[in-house]
Chains A and B, each alone.
Chain A
Amino acid sequence: MSNLPLDPLLLSVAAPLTLAVLIAVGLPKKIVVKLAYAAFAIPALVAVYLWSAFACAAKESHGYAFLTEYSTGLGGLGISLKLGLNGISLPLFVLAGVVGLAAGLYALQSTAERMKTYLLLLLVMQAGLMGTFASVDIFFYYFFHELALIPTFIMVGIWGGRDRSHAAMMMTIYLTVGAMLSLLGLVAIYAKSGAGSFDLLAIRDALSAHPLGEVTQKHIFGILLFGFGILVSLWPFHSWAPLGYGAAPSSAAMLHAGVLKKFGLYGLVQIALPLLPLGLLQWNHSMAALAAVGNVVVIGLVTMAQRDLKQMIGFSSVMHMGYAFLGLAVGSLLGVGGVVMLMVAHGLSVALLFLLSTSIHQRTNTFDMHQMGGLAQKAPVLAALFVTATFASVGLPGFANFWGELPIFVSLWGFSHCLTLVALSGTVVSAVYGLRAAARVFFGPQTEAFARFAASKPTVDITWGERIPALILIAALLFVGVWPRSLSTAIDQALARTPPSVVASR
C-alpha cells in the first residue's frame, strides 16, 4: 500500500496505542475522552476500508495484500514487524475493528471509576487485537495477542464484579499457560522449519519445500492444539472462561470473548493446519470428540443450568467454540471456512450479549436470572436487542452465526456421522438456554425483586450511548448474515490457495 501516505495496518495499531501512551503520560481527562472516540474509530474505519479494498488489492504473495515490513532490531533472529492481510485474517481484522469500536463506545458512555486507566487498558487491548490479526510474522502475532491479553487480567481484577480477584487469577494462570504452550509450539515451528524466520510466508515456503516428519508434526500440533485450546476454552480447559467473563467488566469481556479468544482458532487455521497437515490427522479425532462431547453437549447442558446471566453467556461462548473445533477437525475447506465465518459471527454476537447483559444489570442490579423478569415492559428496546442477540447466537439464519455453523455441520457429516448428530443437538440446546434466558429476564410478569429495585430507581430504556454500540454489532451481524459472500469469497480464495488440510474437501 505504498500509494497511501500511512500504512493503514500500522495506523490501526498505532492510533489506539498512541492515545494509551498519551494517557499514561498524563493527558487531561476531557481531551482523552474526545480523542478516544477517534482512537476507537480509526481502527474500525481502517478495517472497513481495507475490507472494501481487499478484493481489488494486489495480492502480493501467498494471497496477502497490504504487506509492509518494519524492522525492530531482531532481524538476526528472523523477527520483523510484518503486517498484511489475507482472506482469513481480513474477516478477523474487521471483527476486531468493529467489536473494538463497540466496546470503546460502550466504555466511553459508562461511568467506570478511574476512567482514564480503564480507557488506557482498553486502548492497549484494541491495539493488540488489531495487531494480532494484521501480523504476518508469527512472533508478532503472538506478541500482539499478549499485548491485548494483559489488560484483560487487570481490568477483571480492578473493575470486575463479584469474585473478581479469584476470577482474574484463574484467567491469568490458565491463559498464561495456554499462551506459553502456544508460544512453545510456534517456536517449535520456527526452529524446525529451517526458515530461520518467524515470517509466516517464509515458513510456509520452507515447509512446503521440506515438510516436517510425521512425528514432529504430531508433537507440535499437539502442543499448539492444547495451547490454543486452553485459550479458546476447549473442554476440559474451559473453567476460566465463564468465571472470568462472569466477573469481567463489559468492555473487557466484549473484547476478550469477542475477539481475543479467536486468536487460538485463528492460529490453528492460519498456522497449524496448513503447516502441520499430518499433525492434524493425528489429532483430529480426539479434538473432534472433545469438542463435540465436551464443549457442545456437556457445556451446552451446563449452560442450561446457569442462573447467572453473564456466566451463562460465558458458558454459551465455550459451547460455541466447540463448533469451531469441530470444523477444524474436519479440516476441509468447507469446515475451516465455516470456522472463520463462525469466529467473526460469534465474536460479534457474544460481544453484543455481554454488552447487553451489563445494560440489564444496570437496570436490575443483579445477574441472577431468577430474580429478573418483566424487564421488557420497562425497556422494550433493550429487550428487542437482547432477543436479537440471543437469536443471533442461537444461529438463526439472517445472522452471521448461521453461516458459520451451517458449513461446519455440512462438512462434519463427511467426517463423522455420529459427531454430526451430537453437534446438531447443540442447536436445540442453545435454543433452549438462549430463549429461556430471554424469557426469564424480559418476559412474563415483573418479579418482586425487580419491582423493588425498579421502585428505588426508575428504570429507563436502553440509552443511545448503549444503543449505538449494540446497533453497530447488530448491523455487522446482519450484514454478514444477509450477505455472507462479503466475507466468504475472501475466505474461500485464501483457503483454496493454501488448502487447510489433506482431507478431501467438500
Chain B
Amino acid sequence: MEHLAFTCLSVFSLACALGVVLSKNAINGAMCLLLCLAGVAGLFVQLHAYLLAFVLVLVYAGAVVALFLFIIMLLDMQGGRTWKFRGLNAAAGFVAALLLITGLNLLAVRGHLEAGPPIGNSVGSSLKFYSYQLFTTYLLPVQIIGFLLLIAMLGVIVLSRRAPQPEDAK
C-alpha cells in the first residue's frame, strides 16, 4: 500500500517536474511546480513529516508559487517569445540530460545505502519538538534568518522603488 502510494506520488512529482522544465508557457510551468510541490508534500506525509508537509504547502504553494504567478502576470510575457527546444540548444540539452542520467545511475549503483526500516518518529512530525529544537539548539540560525528576511525585505524595497529620490540626485 505504502509502496503504491510512493510510486504514484513519485511518478506524479517527476512528471510535474518535467512539466516545469518542458512547458512552453511560464504559467503552465508555475502550475506544474505547484503540483510537483503537492506531490512532494504527499511524500513528506508518507515520511511522517506532517508539519513539514504543511509548511511546504504553505510556504511554497502559498507564497512562492503565488509570487511567481503574480510576477508572470505582472510582466505579462504572453506576447514575448515562446520557448523552443531546437538546434544546438537541444543537442546540448540532450547531452546534459544524458550526463545527469549517468550521474543518477552512478548514484543508484554505487551509492547504495543499507538503511533499515524507518527508525521512530522524526521531529518533523511534532510541532512541539520541532519548536524545542528551533528555540534551543538552532536559536542562532533562527535569529540569523530573521536578519536574512529583513535584508531581503529591504532589498525588495530598494530594488522595486521606481524613481530616484530627489535628495540623492544632488
Q: Do chains A and B touch in the complex (CB under 8 A)?
A: no
List residues of chain B with CB under 8 Å of any chain A CB.
none
